Copies of this chain bind each other. A is one copy, B any other.
């Protein structure tokens, strides 16, 4: 009944999804990789080269946060940073070989998560959920 509960539910579900993903990554040897690092790798699997600013927009994190996150991924050997030859202000980020190797793992984890997430949720309910959430998102 309490419609306020929905806010709480949304927070809890988000938290569960994050824990699920981080735990699955850790089980597969990716210790110390949080969801934001995962988001960056995920984005780079789709788009091979992104600037710091583009990553910031994609993952909805402050540019200074992105500096820290990407630097950690560089330290771990998953990505490299390279300055643009034309505009020396711009830094490109790209996956290394070690980074690209994560693709199948990421696909698997993503699929596992969706399987859990949508268990016993019909196709129609999924569509309905997406429709209502999009409406709410546009309200802000």
Contacts and interface: CB of A to CB of B under 8 A. Distances in A.
Contact of A9 (B4, B110, B118, B134): B134
Contacts of A139: 116-121
Interface residues of A, number: 38
Given A121-B135, A129-B132, A132-B129, A114 B4 contact: yes
A76 interface: no
Contacts of A108: none
A15 B62 CA distance: 13
Interface of A: 3-7, 9-17, 20, 60, 110, 113-114, 116-121, 125-126, 128-130, 132-137, 139-140
A139 B117 CA distance: 6
Contacts of A11: 14, 60
A66 B9 CA distance: 21
Given A12-B60, A14-B11, A60-B12, A6 B129 contact: yes
